Amino acid sequence: MSITHPFRLNGAGLGLRRSMLSALQVEVPHCIDFFEVSPENWVGVGGRLGKQFRSLTERHRFVAHGLALSLGGPAPLDTGFLGELKQFLDHHDFALYTEHLSFCSDEGHFYDLYPIPFTEQAVKHVAGRIRQTQDILERPIALENASYYVQPPQPEMDELTFINAVLTEADCYLHLDVNNIYVNSVNHGYDARAFLLGLPGERIVYGHVAGHDMEPSGLIIDTHGQDTIEPVWELLVEAYRSFGVFPTLVERDSNIPPLADLLIEVERIRTLQNSHRLYQSAHDIREVAA
């Protein structure tokens, strides 16, 4: 099975950080099929940085991954920001906008992402805000399964049931963060593969892989500050095997190495994608022959 969607994405991507701009002005490596940025870091940016950014968005495919919309929060949606965001997405012809299934503000911003209670009321609340966001942006959005460290209070359902309920109620897409599944599975004691297979593969628009830090207590912190570990790569392979190949991006937010080192992981994504396509083609040929 292969996943199709209307977002003009394919292949392997990299999260763009400002420290990479100079190198990418010289040449964008062929292995990078698309870039991701957090729009909060770029809306309204002008001058030299703005020109460098625009030169990339004119020539390459981009997606936006939001940090501050707070879809699960109690305060009204920031419609002023959404208006600015729409202009930004339109101006740069972004392929897609995604946000976290979490909240980060009430009367002010908390500068962190917090879990939403796994309740029917929360499902209705978040889904309504997703629909409002899509109406203002005039485009469908996708939700990322978020990492969290404290169990939400008084859950009526588990995390997997909650994610599926929100996606169904809002009728939106899934931004699959493979690392977050692994992080939560260790921190909260569930089977990562079973969780993955319970997600609606037909809604996946693209995925993330990333690294994390381990606390002395055994708690994993989703820092995006290390290389992706083997269990996460194995989970990505399982996702391709179960759902088909989907665009996948390397996230790195701290302890950022030289671009050449990041490209090793981008190339690994491409290798896994090509290997799965070859396997699937051979499987299809055998089925036809039989």
For residue 104, give the H/E element and its range.
strand 103-105
For residue 121, give the H/E element and its range.
helix 120-137
273-278 long-range contacts (CB < 8 A, ≥24 apart) are 273/11, 273/12, 273/240, 273/245, 273/248, 276/237, 276/240, 276/241, 276/244, 276/245, 277/245
Tell me the per-residue pLDDT of 183-217, one tens digit each, with 9 for 90 and over.
Answer: 999 999 999 999 999 999 999 999 999 999 988 88
Tell me the per-residue pLDDT of 105-131, one tens digit each, with 9 for 90 and over.
Answer: 444 444 456 788 899 999 999 999 999
CA dist 26 and 24 (Å) reads 5
Location of structure tokens 């966001």: 133
- pLDDT over 70 (residue 286): no
Helix (H, G, I), strand (E, B) or coil at 65: strand
For residue 267, give the H/E element and its range.
helix 259-289
29: which 2 tokens? 């490596």
- pLDDT over 50 (residue 2): no
pLDDT at 70: 84
Question: What is the model's pTM?
Answer: 0.91
- In the chain, what is the straight-line distance between the N-terminal and C-terminal CA atoms, in Å? 19
Q: Give me the percent of the chain exceeding a pLDDT of 90.
A: 74
Max Cα-Cα span within the chain: 63
Q: Closest Cα partner for 188 from 222, 165, 144, 164?
A: 222
Tell me the per-residue pLDDT of 212-267, one tens digit each, with 9 for 90 and over.
Answer: 998 888 899 888 889 999 999 999 999 999 999 999 999 999 999 999 999 999 99
Residue 61 binned pLDDT confidence (cut-offs 50, 70, 90): very high
pLDDT at 87: 97
Domains defined along the chain, listed by start: 12-289 (3.20.20.150)
CB distance 94 to 63 below 8 Å: yes
Residue 287 binned pLDDT confidence (cut-offs 50, 70, 90): low
68: which 2 tokens? 């501050």
CA dist 179 and 225 (Å) reads 12
Tell me the per-residue pLDDT of 6-32, one tens digit each, with 9 for 90 and over.
Answer: 788 999 999 999 999 989 999 999 999
CA dist 79 and 56 (Å) reads 28
CB distance 210 to 236 below 8 Å: no
CA dist 246 and 9 (Å) reads 9
